[in-house]
Copies of this chain bind each other. A is one copy, B any other.
Amino acid sequence: MANLSATEISWYYNRLNKCCCRLTKPRRAILDILDDTRKHLSAEQIYKETLKISSNAGLSTIYRNLELLVRIGLTWEFDAGDNKARYEIAKRPGESHHHHLICKKCNSIIDYSASVDNEKDFIKKREKNLSNKYNFKIENHSIDFFGLCYKCSKNK
């Protein structure tokens, strides 16, 4: 707990400030938690984590803030196929964007870096081409591969 450095905190402060939003205690707690984990937590799970830390944020506050953080691009939301939103921090310093391998059976998620095999270049080119063709302003993307993880493909 209290993982965020002073630098990170002021960075988040400024990002929020730009939108007339404040870096409140619950927001700091959420960012703290997401920054600290490699997991893809649901709102409920994040809520439980905040209870462990001192910060007692209400569940509705968690939801409200996740929505905000996603909207301004500080966190990233996706659905691993079980009808509940998962959240992860948008970018870590020095770490490149990643995509997912999602197990249909146990819902486990593997992150893989998007920087290998020219994937980044490919996507960039694709985005440009699609933007032009469809007059669509692309802001971000998600690439998910679904299937069976090693464990689940072994167990029948």
Q: Chain B nearest CB: distance from A148 CB in Å?
A: 4
A145 contacts B122, C-beta separation under 8 Å: no
The answer to whether A127 has its CB under 8 Å from any CB of chain B is yes
Which residue from B77, B85, B146 sits with its C-beta under 8 Å from A138?
B146
Copies in the complex: 2
Given contacts A101-B136, A110-B136, A137-B153, A145 and B117 within 8 Å (CB-CB): no
Q: A97-155: which residues lie under 8 A (CB-CB) from chain B?
A: 101, 103-104, 110, 112, 117, 119, 122, 125-127, 129-130, 133-150, 153
Of the candidates B119, B141, B150, which one forms a contact with A136 in the assembled complex, judged by CB atoms under 8 Å apart? Answer: B150
Give bound CA distance, A82 to B149, whole Å.
28
Over the window 59-103 of chain A, the binary record of Cβ atoms lying under 8 Å from chain B Cβ atoms (1 yes, 0 no) is 000000000000000000101010101000000000000000101
Nearest chain B CB to A136 CB, angstrom units = 5
Bound-complex Cα distance A24 to B36 (A):
49
Interfacial residues, chain A to chain B (CB-CB below 8 A): 77, 79, 81, 83, 85, 101, 103-104, 110, 112, 117, 119, 122, 125-127, 129-130, 133-150, 153
Pick 22 A–B contacts, CB within 8 A, sort by A.
A77-B81, A79-B79, A83-B83, A103-B136, A110-B134, A112-B130, A112-B134, A117-B125, A130-B145, A134-B149, A134-B150, A135-B149, A136-B149, A136-B150, A137-B147, A138-B146, A139-B146, A139-B147, A141-B143, A142-B143, A142-B146, A143-B143
